[in-house]
Amino acid sequence: RPGIVHRLDKDTSGLMVAAKNEAAHRRLQADLKARRFKKGYLALVEGRLSPPEGIIDAPVGRDPRRRTRMAVVSTGRPAVTRYRVREYLGGATLVEVWPETGRTHQIRVHFASLGHPLVGDRLYGRACPTLNRHFLHAFYLGFPHPRSGQWLEFTSPLPPELEAELARRRAAIPH
């Protein structure tokens, strides 16, 4: 059936893929499952993330204590997230994130497990008074065209409310 090939978490902005027909949908889903998609996100996490780049390799599964959440659990499915710091903003860090797997809430769970939940993440961290959602944006998507196999790349700028949050934080840093 044609339609949405993959999902974004509620309150995550950015790029998604939709198929125009059933054959394209099947091919795109197969490519997604075979990890031929490359996805890039921008996240603002609480605190000063260190080291400035790294790999989070920790299994993600249902949180046994709170069934509405996911968590890093030994019985979870393998989950790998690469990251690189783009900018330190006082008490937060802007991070470029490249998940290698696509578990539910993977990015949010991985950074929360390090003690650096996403800014505004009410489920894994805390609300942010100046932002009414978590700071996570799918800014890059690359994948093979379902018919030709040609590599396609798409980018998406941060939405205004996330740009405004960065501007507020930059303005608060003493110069």
Per-residue pLDDT tens over the stretch 109-150 = 999 999 999 999 999 999 999 999 999 999 999 999 999 999
What is the average pLDDT across 40-44? Answer: 99
What CATH code is carried by the domain that includes residue 125?
3.30.2350.10
pLDDT of residue 2: 74
> Hey, which residues are catalytic here?
9
Per-residue pLDDT tens over the stretch 6-33 = 989 999 999 999 999 999 999 999 999 9
The reply to whether 10 falls in a domain is no
The domain of 118 spans 38-172
Number of domains in the chain: 1
Query: What global pTM score does this model have?
Result: 0.95
Nearest to 28, CA basis, from 1, 5, 4: 5
pLDDT of residue 175: 75
Please state, in angstroms and as integers, the Cα–Cα distance from residue 48 to each residue in 11, 85, 99, 104, 124, following that order. 23, 10, 20, 25, 17
